[in-house]
């Protein structure tokens, strides 16, 4: 299911509860697609990054090559989005705009306000959302597929709902700007000031409008991409335990409510039945939870992956996992 789905999409999100194997699954899919000749951008949005450890090389906030096919047609580039760097860049842009509109003596207050804003609820989500939107907007210029290895379920579900919220919020700001511009024009007409400096207010209004329009268009683009089932799918990764299964059912419903296509489930690390009584009894319990998941969502495709020996690190291990998904 998963490999076929990846071959048919341009954007693929993998999510689920923390510690269920999202990163290694995303990496295995990325490697498989690259070996099939596609150019893949693998992006980690989880603050607890481990792409670098998995691929055995440094990975940071800018794209680095993780794998290149011998014939040069396919490859994997990796990025670990740095939340603090993203927030810093995001607030720096906001600060530059605000200082342009404020008198010089108020610039220290702008800096103080932005320092406080960096710690306020919602700033991280807003900055991360814009970075993901920019990654989609520009990443598909150089890649055939973008795979997002996402943060744990609750954070990701909220992030998937934000493009809709932010689009409407920005539209509201644009409507307020329109009213403010009309009011400003009326005041300037009443003043009858022909001084060329009187265009300052008009220039400011145009800059604010351009900034808001750019953000609105970016969020709108992301919303359209996320809700286009032919372009984007979300796959939920889990293990056969009670909490991950219940959380996966909840995540599925949350994603569907936001219009995101859920392509299926990957049940990871199923215990072997022929490796002793302990693991065999554990497998019985796992099968019960998998059956419960299938009862709750009977029409959703599902892949199952056995517990593999050794650490899943490096290209050979990722290739081995990809074969289990075939």
Tell me the pLDDT tens digit for each residue of 132-179.
Answer: 888 999 999 999 999 999 877 666 776 777 666 666 666 666 666 566
Q: Angle formed by the axes of helices 83-101 and 107-117, to 10°?
A: 150
Sequence-separated (6 or more) residues with CB below 8 Å from residue 192: none
* Residue 94: pLDDT over 70: yes
Whether 205 is in a domain gets the answer: no
Q: Is 16 helix (H, G, I), strand (E, B) or coil?
A: strand
Q: What is the pLDDT of residue 168?
A: 63
Q: Confirm whether 64 is domain-assigned.
A: yes
Q: What number is the average pLDDT over the span 23-52?
A: 93
272 DSSP 8-state letter = P
Q: Give percent of the chain with pLDDT exceeding 70.
A: 82
Share of residues in the chain with pLDDT > 90 (%) = 50
Tell me whether residue 49 is in a domain.
yes
Has residue 10 been placed in a domain? yes
Residue 71's domain comprises 2-84+125-164+231-325
pLDDT value of residue 32 = 97
Averaged pLDDT, 249-270 = 93
CA–CA dist 87, 78 (Å, integer)? 20
* Count of the separate structural domains present in the chain: 1
Helix 199-226 vs helix 83-101: crossing angle, to nearest 10: 150
- pLDDT at 152 (0 to 100): 75
Give the C-alpha separation, 8 to 219, whole Å.
24
**Average pLDDT score over residue span 99-104:** 73
Specify the 3-state DSSP secondary structure of 10: coil
| pTM of the entire predicted model | 0.85
* Residue 91 in domain: no
With contact defined as beta carbons under 8 Å apart, do 325 and 311 qualify? no
Residue 274 — pLDDT band, cuts 50, 70, 90?
A: very high
Query: 204 lies in a domain?
Result: no
- CA nearest 36: which of 15, 7, 78? 7
Pairing relation of β-strands 75-80 and 39-44? parallel
Q: Which of 61, 63, 58, 64 is nearest to 86 (CA)?
A: 61
Residue 227 burial (CB < 10 Å; 0-12/13-18/19+)? middle
196 or 295, which is more confident? 295
Whole-number pLDDT of residue 198? 47
- Average pLDDT of the residues in 192-214: 61
Number of Cβ atoms within 10 Å of the Cβ of 247 = 21
* Of 210 and 201, more confident: 210
Q: What's 228's DSSP letter?
A: -
d(CA 77, CA 146): 10
Average pLDDT, stretch 219-228? Answer: 87
d(CA 312, CA 24): 7
Task: Please tell me the least confidently modeled range out of 41-45, 111-115, 166-170, 208-212.
Answer: 166-170
Overall average pLDDT of the 91-105 stretch: 75
Helices (H), 106-152: 107-117, 123-142
Residue 181, pLDDT score: 58
pLDDT over 90 (residue 242): yes
The CATH number covering residue 79 comes to: 3.40.50.300
Tell whether 202 is covered by a domain: no
Q: Which residues have CB under 8 Å from 253's CB, separation 6+?
A: none
Residue 178 belongs to some domain of the structure: no
* pLDDT tens per residue, range 102-142: 778 878 887 887 788 777 767 777 778 888 888 999 999 99
**Residue 246 pLDDT > 90, yes or no?**
yes
* pLDDT at position 96: 77
What tokens were used for 75? Answer: 């490859």
Residue whose C-alpha is closest to residue 136's, from 5, 46, 13: 13
Residue 202 has pLDDT above 70, yes or no: no
Question: Which residues are CB-neighbours of 279 under 8 A, at least 6 positions away?
Answer: 271, 272, 273
> Residue 182: which H helix or E strand, with range?
helix 153-191
pLDDT at 305: 96
Q: Which residues touch 52 (CB under 8 Å, ≥6 apart)?
A: 58, 59, 78, 80
pLDDT given for residue 166 in this prediction: 67
Q: Parallel, antiparallel, or unpaired for β 145-152 and 262-270? A: unpaired
pLDDT score recorded for residue 116: 80
Sign of CA dihedral 191, 101, 121, 83: positive
The larger pLDDT score, comparing residue 73 to residue 127, is at 73
């Amino acid at each position: 299911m998963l490999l076929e789905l990846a071959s048919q999409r341009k954007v693929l999100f993998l999510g689920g509860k923390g510690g269920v194997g999202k990163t290694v699954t995303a990496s295995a899919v990325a490697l498989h697609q690259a070996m099939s000749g596609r150019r893949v951008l693998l992006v980690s949005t989880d603050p607890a990054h481990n792409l670098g450890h998995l691929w055995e090389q440094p990975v940071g906030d800018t794209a680095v090559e993780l794998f290149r096919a011998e014939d040069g047609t396919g490859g994997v580039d990796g990025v670990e989005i740095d939340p603090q760097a993203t927030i810093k860049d995001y607030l720096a842009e906001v600060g530059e705009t605000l200082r342009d509109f404020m008198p010089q003596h108020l610039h220290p207050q702008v800096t103080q306000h932005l320092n406080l804003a960096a710690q306020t609820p919602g700033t991280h989500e807003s900055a991360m959302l814009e970075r993901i939107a920019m990654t989609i907007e520009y990443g598909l210029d150089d890649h055939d597929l973008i795979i997002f290895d996402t943060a744990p379920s609750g954070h990701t579900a909220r992030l998937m709902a934000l493009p809709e919220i932010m689009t409407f919020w920005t539209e509201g700001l644009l409507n307020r700007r329109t009213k403010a511009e009309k009011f400003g024009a009326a005041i300037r007409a009443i003043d009858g000031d022909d001084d060329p400096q009187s265009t300052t207010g008009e220039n400011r209004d145009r800059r604010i409008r351009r900034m808001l329009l750019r953000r609105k268009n970016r969020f709108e683009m992301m919303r359209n991409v996320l809700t286009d089932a032919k372009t984007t799918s979300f796959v939920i990764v889990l293990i056969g335990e009670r909490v991950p299964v219940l959380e996966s059912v909840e995540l599925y419903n949350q994603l569907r409510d936001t219009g995101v296509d859920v392509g299926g489930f990957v049940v990871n690390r199923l215990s072997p039945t022929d490796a002793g009584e302990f693991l065999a009894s554990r497998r019985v319990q796992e099968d019960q939870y998998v059956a419960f998941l299938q009862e709750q969502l009977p029409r959703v495709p599902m892949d199952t992956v056995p517990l593999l020996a050794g650490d899943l690190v490096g290209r050979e291990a990722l290739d081995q996992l990809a074969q289990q998904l075939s």
